[in-house]
Amino acid sequence: MINESYGVQRKPQEKVEYCHVDRRMIFGHSESIMSYDTYQFPDYSKVVATRWDEREKDKRRREIFPKDCPKVYDMGVELVKKSPHI
């Protein structure tokens, strides 16, 4: 996975917007949250993955991921509220 600063430069949100068009047609509303530098393997000691720094990923997982989870949950609640099909 890419880190956040690189991801922001690449403007992935613009690319994701294309996906929202179909979802809006089906569900009436669509949103997304970008998550960067996620874990790729459950146990880095079992794979050769020199591109990633396991310590940095672990740090981000402990510090950032817990902050992102409530945002994702809240977004899901809002999506359900806005959906005309539920």
pTM of the full predicted structure? 0.61
Cβ-in-10-Å burial (0-12, 13-18, 19+) of 33 comes to exposed
| Structure confidence at residue 50 (pLDDT) | 83
Give the residue among 17, 33, 31 at the shortest CA–CA distance from 82: 31
Tokens encoding 80: 């359900």
| Structure confidence at residue 86 (pLDDT) | 62
| Structure confidence at residue 74 (pLDDT) | 94
- Residues (pLDDT < 70) of the chain are 1-13, 84-86
